[in-house]
Amino acid sequence: MAYVLGYDISTTATKALLIDQQGTVVAIGQASYDYATPHPLWSEQSPHLWWQACRESTQEVLAKAGVAANEIMAIGLAGQMHGLVLLDQAGEVLRPALLWNDQRTAEQCEQITARLGEQRLIELTGNRALTGFTAPKILWVQQHEPEIYAQIAHILLPKDYVRYCLTGEFASDVSDSAGTLLLDVRSRQWSAEVAQALEIDLAWLPQLFEGPAITGQLHAEAAAALGLVAGIPVVGGGGDQAANAVGTGVVAAGSIALSLGTSGVVFGATASPIIEPQGRLHAFCHAVPGRWHLMGVMLSAAGSLRWYHDTFAPQLSYDQLLEPAEAVAVGSAGLFFAPYLTGERTPHPDPLARGGFIGLTVRHTQAHLTRSVLEGVAFGLRDSLELMSQAGIGTIGAIRASGGGTRNRLWRQILADVLGAPLVGVSTTEGAAYGAALLAAVGAGWYRDVDQAVAATVRLSDPTEPSADQARYAELYATYRAIYPALQPLYPALAAAEA
């Protein structure tokens, strides 16, 4: 038998997933860890945790599957994007990694925009300067930890530090690197212009590869630590969202994925680099060679429902909380929920945005509030889909939906009605790790390309079609869109009052 391994190095755990030549998931191993918040807005993690978790999850998955080490043909990597890993000349970690959710770099984002100009920055990188991205973190270290900055020899992303541990190579893939704000997304190469403006040495940055390309081989020391055989090829892989798109089959131009987890992501594959003129959508390279994608990110999607449940009805199960909402009419009797509980990214890149229930009266019950949360999140996700349509992504067909929030029948129906498109599930729930494994399978030569791999392995469920309520939701969406601009002038004062 022959198998490939896919790793997903996330913020709280590393997952190892083993698939066979039919694309069947044979076993999954996982090891968890935490991250530190030593100061307000800071979010850090030791890279050594990822490598330790990689070892533990690999040993678990091999034991569960009963697979021999010499049956592993290739390894693929996916992981949390935007994190900053700094290494010295000897390859030693210089400081804890600054993670994607670290928010300390607002000043550095302003500096980047001033140095390049907002439009030139968007034209080159496809994105505005946001606190989550990697480049502002590099500038923060330069300005606040000069003794660390002086020792930098290599800059890596989280999954690429694991690649270094596996192979000894300093390499990355273009989909993950597009989230650094240092990549020219059109040419799929590092931008010398951006690096020069930010005084970042291009020699520090890793060599770039496409997702299924082989970046190195497992060296003997790593093989011994993992219980594998030296020489196994390791492919480029992808950032977590691009790898998830491969795992859910969103690789053809115009195909759309919706991920409804703590945050919400709308992902649209494109055949050419499409850049939203104001940078309200992320424009990144896909993990599929020669393709790109647009991405809208909503910071509190299923996280809004979790907050609502934990705050107002912790004694109820989610099913008990949601069931009464099915009897509430579309629009929750004029009640709207603004889902900006942790600020917002798309389409309003505003860390000061605040959530709220708008339109409350004495007639509203808990069931109305519950349904308005589901509807508000759906409206927020439609914002991203609308921007993609305006940017020229083409006709929106069936949307491939994943994430815990899409398991609820009522929420799926609301999403289909608000988004105006059928929602379909996919055959695996392990999107990013599965996508990494499929990229490894292509690298191993099992499939001609990623399109063939997806066609052979990803299966779709029956669709949830939009109902007659679609027209009513279109009317309500116009009111929802007016909420942010109406309340935005108040947000700085509300933030100041909170402080």
Q: What is the pLDDT of residues 448-498, one digit of tens each?
A: 999 999 999 999 989 999 999 999 999 999 999 999 999 999 999 998 998
The angle formed by the CA atoms of residues 343, 433 and 453, to the nearest 5 degrees, is 120
Q: Is 151 helix (H, G, I), strand (E, B) or coil?
A: coil
- Greatest extent of the chain over all pairs of C-alpha atoms, in Å: 69
Query: pLDDT (tens digit, 9 = 90+) per residue, 11-67?
Result: 999 999 999 999 999 999 999 999 999 998 899 999 999 999 999 999 999 999 999
Mean pLDDT of 335-349: 93
| Separation of alpha carbons 167 and 216, rounded Å | 6
216 band by pLDDT with thresholds 50, 70 and 90: very high
- Which residue do the tokens 């693929």 mark? 76
Domain 250-425+468-499 annotated CATH 3.30.420.40: yes
- The superfamily in CATH containing domain 3-242 is ATPase, nucleotide binding domain (3.30.420.40)
Q: Does 250-425+468-499 match 3-242 at the fold level?
A: yes
Q: What is the pLDDT of residue 105?
A: 95
What value does the mean pLDDT of the chain take? Answer: 96
The pLDDT of residue 101 is 86
Instruction: For residues 373 and 281, give the distance between their C-alpha atoms in angstroms, rounded to a whole number.
Output: 23
Binding-site annotation: residue ranges for substrate: 81-82
Catalytically active residues are 240
Bridge partners for 344 per DSSP? 350
Neighbours of 10 (CB within 10 A): 21
CA distance 142 to 147: 9
Where along the chain do its domains lie? 3-242, 250-425+468-499
Given a contact cutoff of 8 angstroms between Cβ atoms, the answer to whether 4 and 65 are in contact is: no
Confidence check: pLDDT of 499 > 80: no
- DSSP-derived letter for residue 404 is G
Enumerate the known binding-site residues.
81-82
Assess contact for 180 and 247: CB atoms under 8 A: no
Instruction: Tell me how far apart the alpha carbons of residues 223 and 55 are, in angstroms, rounded to a whole number.
Output: 10
Termini Cα distance of the chain:
60
pLDDT at 402: 86
- The first and second tokens of residue 369, run together, are 């509030």
Buried b (16+ CB within 10 A) or exposed e, 154-175: bbbbbbbbbbbbbbebbbbbbb
